[in-house]
Structure 1
Amino acid sequence: MAQGPEYLKPTEKQLKARRKRNVAIALALVAFVVLVYVGSLAKLGAQLFDRAL
Protein backbone atom coordinates (compact mmCIF):
# COMPACT_ATOMS: atom_id res chain seq x y z
CA MET A 1 0.00 0.00 0.00
CA ALA A 2 1.53 3.31 -1.10
CA GLN A 3 1.57 6.25 1.25
CA GLY A 4 1.46 9.89 0.23
CA PRO A 5 4.46 11.59 -1.33
CA GLU A 6 7.51 11.87 0.86
CA TYR A 7 8.63 15.39 1.51
CA LEU A 8 12.15 16.33 2.44
CA LYS A 9 12.46 17.80 5.89
CA PRO A 10 14.73 20.85 5.91
CA THR A 11 17.82 20.63 8.03
CA GLU A 12 18.41 22.91 11.00
CA LYS A 13 20.91 24.87 8.90
CA GLN A 14 18.31 25.40 6.18
CA LEU A 15 15.70 26.49 8.72
CA LYS A 16 18.09 29.05 10.20
CA ALA A 17 18.89 30.37 6.72
CA ARG A 18 15.17 30.65 5.96
CA ARG A 19 14.57 32.56 9.20
CA LYS A 20 17.41 34.97 8.45
CA ARG A 21 16.08 35.51 4.93
CA ASN A 22 12.57 36.17 6.25
CA VAL A 23 13.89 38.69 8.78
CA ALA A 24 15.90 40.46 6.07
CA ILE A 25 12.83 40.68 3.81
CA ALA A 26 10.70 41.99 6.69
CA LEU A 27 13.27 44.66 7.55
CA ALA A 28 13.54 45.72 3.91
CA LEU A 29 9.75 46.01 3.70
CA VAL A 30 9.57 48.08 6.89
CA ALA A 31 12.38 50.34 5.62
CA PHE A 32 10.52 50.84 2.32
CA VAL A 33 7.27 51.72 4.10
CA VAL A 34 9.08 54.22 6.35
CA LEU A 35 10.83 55.73 3.33
CA VAL A 36 7.54 56.21 1.47
CA TYR A 37 5.89 57.67 4.59
CA VAL A 38 8.73 60.14 5.22
CA GLY A 39 8.80 61.05 1.54
CA SER A 40 5.08 61.75 1.62
CA LEU A 41 5.44 63.95 4.69
CA ALA A 42 8.34 65.82 3.08
CA LYS A 43 6.36 66.39 -0.12
CA LEU A 44 3.31 67.69 1.73
CA GLY A 45 5.48 69.74 4.07
CA ALA A 46 3.95 72.30 6.39
CA GLN A 47 0.69 72.26 4.45
CA LEU A 48 -0.16 69.03 6.17
CA PHE A 49 -0.42 70.72 9.57
CA ASP A 50 -1.74 74.08 8.36
CA ARG A 51 -5.23 73.09 7.30
CA ALA A 52 -8.73 73.64 8.64
CA LEU A 53 -10.25 70.73 10.47
Structure 2
Amino acid sequence: MATTPIRATHELHNRRFSRNFGLGIVLVLFVGIVYGLTIAKVGTDPRDDLGADWATAQEKAAK
Protein backbone atom coordinates (compact mmCIF):
# COMPACT_ATOMS: atom_id res chain seq x y z
CA MET A 1 0.00 0.00 0.00
CA ALA A 2 1.52 3.28 -1.11
CA THR A 3 1.40 6.27 1.20
CA THR A 4 0.55 9.67 -0.14
CA PRO A 5 3.09 12.36 0.57
CA ILE A 6 2.09 15.33 2.72
CA ARG A 7 1.65 18.36 0.53
CA ALA A 8 1.97 21.97 1.55
CA THR A 9 -1.26 23.94 1.47
CA HIS A 10 -1.93 25.68 -1.76
CA GLU A 11 -1.87 29.47 -1.92
CA LEU A 12 -5.55 29.45 -2.88
CA HIS A 13 -6.42 27.77 0.42
CA ASN A 14 -4.52 30.43 2.35
CA ARG A 15 -6.41 33.23 0.60
CA ARG A 16 -9.74 31.48 1.13
CA PHE A 17 -8.96 30.97 4.84
CA SER A 18 -8.05 34.66 5.23
CA ARG A 19 -11.26 35.72 3.53
CA ASN A 20 -13.39 33.37 5.62
CA PHE A 21 -11.66 34.46 8.82
CA GLY A 22 -12.30 38.12 8.00
CA LEU A 23 -15.93 37.41 7.19
CA GLY A 24 -16.28 35.53 10.46
CA ILE A 25 -14.96 38.51 12.41
CA VAL A 26 -17.36 40.85 10.60
CA LEU A 27 -20.30 38.55 11.37
CA VAL A 28 -19.35 38.30 15.05
CA LEU A 29 -19.10 42.10 15.27
CA PHE A 30 -22.47 42.50 13.54
CA VAL A 31 -24.14 40.06 15.93
CA GLY A 32 -22.53 41.89 18.87
CA ILE A 33 -23.84 45.24 17.66
CA VAL A 34 -27.35 43.87 17.12
CA TYR A 35 -27.26 42.21 20.56
CA GLY A 36 -26.04 45.42 22.22
CA LEU A 37 -28.68 47.53 20.53
CA THR A 38 -31.36 45.02 21.51
CA ILE A 39 -30.29 45.10 25.15
CA ALA A 40 -30.21 48.90 25.09
CA LYS A 41 -33.66 49.08 23.51
CA VAL A 42 -35.28 46.45 25.73
CA GLY A 43 -33.51 47.65 28.89
CA THR A 44 -35.54 49.05 31.76
CA ASP A 45 -36.51 52.68 31.44
CA PRO A 46 -35.87 54.41 34.78
CA ARG A 47 -38.89 56.68 34.20
CA ASP A 48 -41.47 53.87 34.15
CA ASP A 49 -42.92 51.92 37.09
CA LEU A 50 -40.62 48.94 36.54
CA GLY A 51 -37.53 51.09 36.89
CA ALA A 52 -38.71 53.15 39.85
CA ASP A 53 -36.69 51.16 42.43
CA TRP A 54 -33.60 51.33 40.27
CA ALA A 55 -33.96 55.07 39.72
CA THR A 56 -34.43 55.66 43.45
CA ALA A 57 -31.31 53.63 44.23
CA GLN A 58 -29.34 55.59 41.65
CA GLU A 59 -30.46 58.90 43.10
CA LYS A 60 -29.47 57.80 46.62
CA ALA A 61 -26.07 56.63 45.37
CA ALA A 62 -25.47 59.97 43.64
CA LYS A 63 -25.99 61.92 46.88
TM-score with structure 2 setting the length: 0.60
Compare 6-15 and 20-29 and name the one that shifted more: 6-15
The alignment yields a C-alpha RMSD, in angstroms, of 1.9
Higher relative contact order (CA 8 A, sep 6+): 1
Aligned residue number for residue 50 of structure 2? none
> How many residues align structurally?
46
Which segments of 5 or more consecutive residues in structure 2 lack a partner in the other structure?
A: 47-53
1:29 aligns with 2:31: no
Following TM superposition, where does structure 1 have runs of at least 4 consecutive aligned residues deviating by more than 6 angstroms? none
1:45 Cα deviation from its structure 2 partner: 5.5
Q: Choose 35-44 or 7-16, whichever is displaced more.
A: 7-16
Matching of residues 29-48 of structure 1 within 5 Å: 29-44=28-43, 46-47=45-46
TM-score by length of 1: 0.70
Deviation of 1:9 (Å): 1.4
**Stretches of structure 1 lacking an aligned partner (at least 5 in a row):** 1-5
The AA in structure 2 aligned to 1:43 is V
